[in-house]
Amino acid sequence: MKIIVVKDSAAGGKEAFNVFKEALKKGAKVFGLATGSTPETTYAQIVSSDLDFSDCTSINLDEYVGLAGDDPQSYRYFMNKHLFNHKPFKASYLPDGLAVDEVKELARYDQLIEENPIDLQLLGIGQNGHIGFNEPGSDFTGKTQKIRLTNSTIEANARFFENEDQVPKYAYSMGIGSIMQAKQILLEAYGQTKAQIIEKMVNGPVTPDVPASILQTHPNVVVIIDEAAASLLNLK
């Protein structure tokens, strides 16, 4: 795990942008993408750059079950707003929150990932250690799943909704097994609220109780964190 500590999320976005740029230069064609507050500065850097993704495919980690792509709270909407409307990809995939047949939707997503092996996977991390929406206790070899969000995740995400009751209770998420297949993984985390979980992810035992701890076993992981998120790490 290569850990880069930056002053703040703005500086982190610039570092993350360089990882994307380098990957593109080396021929990466498939990018695994994330939503949430964390990657916003990264997407802003990409949008204001001349990087060209028109020959690339993106596959997002997750989507809320029950939300249409044009719902402002959906992850499809988030991605269009922050990235795709400004920097189009050849194809951009997210799970379909309105899929009628859940089993088929999970299979469709797994097939997409299989047909488009991910070169660079961008991740945030939940305060409980989730990656994608793979909550504590998730199987390290799992594929795409419908996941019941934990109360702590619902609470953490309520800030994007009018109130907590409006936060969907389920999401479709790429599984940890698929995330771990990515050739390179870039995880970003900013702010004091992430300090404790970053310490566990980096130094703690590899355990399903902390889903992100499995990243210790991946051969090519870059972690970009700000000073607040790094504050419990004994670096140097």
Question: What is the number of other CB atoms lying within 10 angstroms of the CB of residue 27?
Answer: 7
Q: Closest CB to ligand F6R among 35 and 145? A: 35
Q: Closest CB to ligand F6R among 24 and 186? A: 186
CA atoms within 13 A on the CB side of 206: 7
**Does an H or E element contain 14, and which?**
helix 9-25
Instruction: Count Cβ atoms within 10 A of the Cβ of residue 60 and give its class: 0-12 exposed, 13-18 middle, 19 or more buried.
Output: buried
Q: Closest CB to ligand F6R among 55 and 223? A: 223
Q: Closest CB to ligand F6R among 31 and 50? A: 31
Binding mask 127-156 for ligand F6R (x = CB under 6 A): ---xxxx-----------------------
Least distance CB 216 / ligand F6R (angstroms): 18
Question: What is the number of other CB atoms lying within 10 angstroms of the CB of residue 140?
Answer: 17
Least distance CB 188 / ligand F6R (angstroms): 8
Please tell me the distance from the alpha carbon of residue 50 to that of residue 4, in angstroms, as a whole number: 24
Known active-site residue 218: no
Angle 41-63-163 from CA coordinates, rounded to 5°: 80
Catalytic residue among 63, 96, 119, 135: 135
Known active-site residue 62: yes
Please tell me the distance from the alpha carbon of residue 60 to that of residue 38, in angstroms, as a whole number: 14
Which residues ranging from 30 to 69 are in contact with ligand F6R (CB under 6 A)? 34-38, 61-62
Interface residue list for ligand F6R (CB under 6 A): 34-38, 61-62, 124-126, 130-133
Which residues carry out catalysis?
62, 128, 130, 135
